[in-house]
Chains A and B, each alone.
Chain A
Amino acid sequence: MNVLNFVNAFFSDSAHWQGYDGIPARLGEHVQYTLEALALAAAIGLPIGLVTGHYGRGGNALSLVATAGRALPSFGLLVLMTTLLGFGMLPVMIPLVVLAVPPILVTTYEAMRSVDPSPVDAARGMGMHESRILFQVELPVALPLILSGLRSAAIQIVSTATIAAYVSLGGLGRYIVDGLYQRNYEKVVGGATLVAVLALVTLALFWAVARVAVSPGVRRS
């Protein structure tokens, strides 16, 4: 399998392990982009999703926003933002956030909507305040789904952050874009492998978070 050979060659070349273009540096950049974009997207998507989901209003509007968000081509947006804003993190963050907000927003809304209404009713009947109902009754039950939304957003960001390389930023996409122009498959495949591994690590991290954060009473059902 030549792909495996490429992978092997890429990772065994010690030159690939140091310097500004080394794996640690590129991986660090990639993780940084991912975390920043995810944090931004979550900061936008989670509150809106939680509140609209709690009150059950605005589902149609959300669905429209989500469709529009997904319809905007990340790559085009990246180029556009670079044209408008020049170089820097912002033009890269915007497409990544636009990409990540719809899944977070929509899943959070749906997660909140799918919470069994009877405990909420019971909580209200007990005299719980709305905010308390949201955070102490609905959120713990909606958490697994909300995490799954964050997870898909994270995976998409990990995969898509590679386009940052096209506008001269770093990250693992560097290997793929450079490899393309240098006709160096080893780099392309190595870069893609790193991205896939990072995606797997992301999956594992979310799994671990779910194990810790989700109540056993919810996990079961």
Chain B
Amino acid sequence: MSEFLHDFFDMPSDLQHSWIGLVGLHLREALLPVAAGLLLALPIAQLCIRFRWLYPPVLGVTTVLYAVPSLAFFVVLINYTGQTELTVMIPLAVYSLVVLVPAIVDGVRSVPQETLSAATAMGFGPVRRYFQVQLPIAVPAIIAGLRVATVSSISLVSVGMLIGNQGALGNLLHDAQIYNRPELTWNSVITTALLAILVDALLVLVRVLLTPWMPSGSAGRRQAPALKDAAR
């Protein structure tokens, strides 16, 4: 058993990382793109809210980009960014848009008209209103989107393995094959899944902390948009 555990966590030297190191790498490669995606999605979503006609085309474009397989993305990007983490992270950031933009748009749009009117009537300017009223109220929807984006980003990083050891925990999959060590495959799958679940749980916690104003009883119902995003 302990031998198995030893094998399980014994990383081949070509990965140049310990298991913990791979986990850290995996998180970085998965989370940075989502963070970047969020930064990008906020202004895009704001534009879509401002100019309603923009929303359908933006949705269309993000959906088509989303349909492009990650590997193809990687290969094309190698031309520009080389065989680096960046190559893996750019598509992931792009993918996160397909979830985050609608999450933010729907979240901000779901702010009740009365609340907006009240804010305007109190003399809130558009900017202040956006940051102090609309955005905070959209937080649950945004975090719901972040959960989906993050989980799928964590899952997708593995594919980076195909472009030469850029898949963090995914690299284990290849090494498992060339060294005939199937336990590494298990390690990769389980660790990745656990990471995803853990980060997801953390985001739920963040949501709870950030939104003491949400009726806890209806938390399940408020999840509705979140779950719908899961569908994307």
Contact = CB atoms under 8 A, between A and B. Distances in A.
A90 interface: no
A186 to B, nearest CB: 11
Given A73-B192, A103-B230, A59 B155 contact: no
Contacts of A3: 76
Contacts of A160: 69
B159 interface: yes
Contacts of B109: none
B64 A71 contact: no
Given A70-B196, A76-B188, A192 B76 contact: yes
B170 interface: yes
B231 A75 contact: no
A109 B163 CA distance: 38
Contacts of A50: none
A67 B66 contact: no
Q: How large is the interface on A (under 10, 10 to 19, 20 to 34, 35 or more residues)?
A: 35 or more
Contacts of A66: 227, 230
Interface string A73-98: 11111011001000000000000000
Q: Please indicate which of the listed interface residues B154, B159, B195 has the most CB atoms of chain A within 10 Å of its own CB.
A: B159
B69 A71 contact: no
Interface in A30-80: 59-60, 63, 66-68, 70-77, 79-80
Contacts, number: 161
B198 to A, nearest CB: 9
A68 B231 contact: no
Contacts of B134: none
Contacts of A77: 189
A185 B75 contact: yes
Contacts of A83: 176-177, 182, 185
B110 to A, nearest CB: 14
Q: How large is the interface on B (under 10, 10 to 19, 20 to 34, 35 or more residues)?
A: 35 or more
A70 B231 contact: no
Q: Please indicate which of the listed interface residues B157, B163, B232 has the most CB atoms of chain A within 10 Å of its own CB.
A: B232
Contact of A155 (B63, B72, B197, B223): B63
Nearest to A188: B75
B231 A149 contact: yes
Contacts of B48: none
B69 A173 contact: yes
B186 interface: yes
Interface of A: 3, 59-60, 63, 66-68, 70-77, 79-80, 83, 102-104, 106-107, 109-110, 113-114, 145, 148-149, 152-153, 155, 158-160, 162-163, 166, 173, 176-177, 179-180, 185, 188-189, 191-192, 195-196, 198-200, 203
7 contacts: A76-B169, A106-B230, A145-B228, A163-B69, A163-B159, A185-B76, A200-B64
Interface of B: 63-64, 66-69, 71-73, 75-76, 79, 147-148, 151-152, 154-159, 161-163, 169-170, 173, 176-177, 182, 185-186, 188-189, 192-197, 200, 220, 223-224, 227-228, 230-232
